[in-house]
Structure 1
Amino acid sequence: MATKITYTQQGDYLLPDLKLPEQPKIEIGIWGKRHLRYLEKHHPIIYTNLLTSCKLTAYLADIDEQAEDMFFRLVKQLAKQEGVTEQLKADNQMMWVQKMNNIRNRVTEIVNNELIYS
């Protein structure tokens, strides 16, 4: 079966009407979306190659999953290392929130540096 190519007039030129195949419908989380913005801005060739080869969505879903796993693993490790326990939460809730926010912020920076913006 031959594919019919259509063209659009742009000034003096006829340009082919190109369309990418449908990308699979995969939900991309916050980490994947951050990495997508980074690729578009700082690595347009990689972004275009992934997009035109129909691998972008799967790639971003993989990055998102890796980042999510890394985030929760590091938060758990640091909380244990720094003694942020359920007992602290029961005894001094404000201190627990402060320490957990500090840990989450540090881990977010680590994930961004290691996976998202690299």
Structure 2
Amino acid sequence: MKKQIYDEKNGMSYTLHGDYYLPDLVLNEAEPTYGKYGMLRKQFLKQHRSARYQYLLLTGKLNEHLNQTDQEARGQVEMLMKQMAEKKGVTEELKVQDQMKWVRLMNNIKVSAEEIILKNMVYV
């Protein structure tokens, strides 16, 4: 038996240990740079899409996927918040006139936008 083999189907190499070939895995020590939505996506993948999570982890693409999800989600939340604020008439003038009303409306808008993004991007 060969000491090492390479599987072209999945792009991984294996080393013989006793009677079994074990994958040559290297832990990526890079610090994760993803934020809130990346962490939520990671937790969702671990609990509900374990095969996809394991695949991303083994191929070294997990951090890239989580960073991309986080950036896209943050951008979408900001865009939705701007659109919803325009639609509801939340302006800087309102902020000056009635600050508490402005804060209340913006908090409601943010929660609504995040709920949409979580449902459509993170928990999919």
Band the TM-score falls in, shorter-chain normalisation: 0.7 to 0.9
**2:40 maps to what in 1?**
34
**1:10 maps to what in 2?**
none
Could you list the per-position Cα deviations for residues 34-77 of structure 1 after superposition, in whole angstroms to 9, with x for gaps in the alignment?
00000000000000000000000001000000000000000011
Structure 2, gaps ≥5 residues long: 5-14
CA contact (8 A) 1:38 1:117 kept: yes
Matching residue's letter, 2:86: K
State the TM-score, normalizing by the size of structure 2: 0.79
Distance 1:115 1:69 in 2: 12
Q: Does residue 44 of the first structure (1) align with residue 64 of the second (2)?
A: no
The sequence identity of aligned pairs, in percent, is: 30
**2:78 maps to what in 1?**
72
Matching residue's letter, 1:104: K
CA contact (8 A) 2:77 2:117 kept: yes
CA drift at 1:21: 3.8
Once the two structures are superposed, the pairs formed by residues 1-118 of structure 1 within 5 Å of their partners are 19-22=25-28, 24-118=30-124
CA drift at 1:20: 2.8
CA contact (8 A) 1:75 1:104 kept: yes
RMSD value, Cα:
2.5
Instruction: Return the structure number with greater strand share.
Output: 2
Deviates more, 1:15-24 or 1:25-34: 15-24
Aligned-partner SS, 2:85: helix
Distance 2:23 2:67 in 1: 29
CA drift at 1:17: 9.0
Aligned-partner SS, 1:76: helix
